[in-house]
Amino acid sequence: MNTLLSDDRVTLRAIEPTDVDLLYKWENDTTLWTVSDTSAPFSRQLLWQYLQNYTADIYESRQVRFVVTLTATGEPVGLLDLMNFDPLNNRAELGLFINSGHRGQGVGRHALTLIETYAAQHIGMKQLYVKIRTDADDCLHLFTTAGYTTVGTLQAWVKRGNNYHDAVLLQHLL
């Protein structure tokens, strides 16, 4: 299968209300909070309300969220977000999470290829960008080998505890 949101390895599907338990597990994993803006746990009720009110209209909400699944089995293995969509300048920030058991297997790279094609061909975006902590070597490797270019360093950008960490701003022209 090879469509706009699917290839032989990975499929990007819409987020569903039945994903509430999956979101609850991943959003409340405190080991992931160091690479996200999460600062407190989410309740199932709050996540359920989010899912009930979620609109996939990127022009209305300035965001669209996908569940990354394995094409062969449909198993959910991650989340992918286009956020902070700027329709005037045709760009969006990208957020990608792949569950630890599926990292290092090319799943993230396939998901990136699919979202780049979707963003360019379906929405007409010109660029995607990511902000990654400078000590997130695996993430930096994924994005730089996928053609994202470092365009700057955001100094003391991320606060964790009492410490501030730099982040790298990477950009990919579509």
- Residues 90-148 have pLDDT tens digits of 999 999 999 999 999 999 999 999 999 999 999 999 999 999 999 999 999 999 999 99
Residue 66 domain-assigned (yes or no): yes
Is residue 1 scored above 60 in pLDDT? Answer: no
Residue 163 domain-assigned (yes or no): no
Which range of residues forms the domain containing residue 95?
10-125
Structure tokens at 91: 């760009």
Residue 160: predicted pLDDT: 81
Q: Residues 97, 115: contact at Cβ < 8 Å?
A: no
- Specify the CATH number for the domain of residue 83: 3.40.630.30
Token pair 């975006």 in the structure block, residue:
125
Residue 130 domain-assigned (yes or no): no
Residue 152 domain-assigned (yes or no): no
Residue 50 domain-assigned (yes or no): yes
pTM for the whole structure: 0.90
Residue 95 domain-assigned (yes or no): yes
User: CA dihedral in degrees (4, 6, 11, 13; nearest 10)?
Assistant: 30
Specify the number of domains making up the chain: 1
Residue 41: predicted pLDDT: 81
If we measure between CA atoms, which residue out of 69, 60, 122, 123 comes closest to residue 91?
123
Residue 61 domain-assigned (yes or no): yes
Higher local confidence (pLDDT), 122 or 53: 122
- Cα separation of 81 and 62, whole Å? 11
Residue 28 domain-assigned (yes or no): yes
pLDDT-derived band at 27 (thresholds 50, 70, 90) equals confident
Is residue 32 scored above 80 in pLDDT? Answer: no
Mean pLDDT, rounded, of the chain:
91
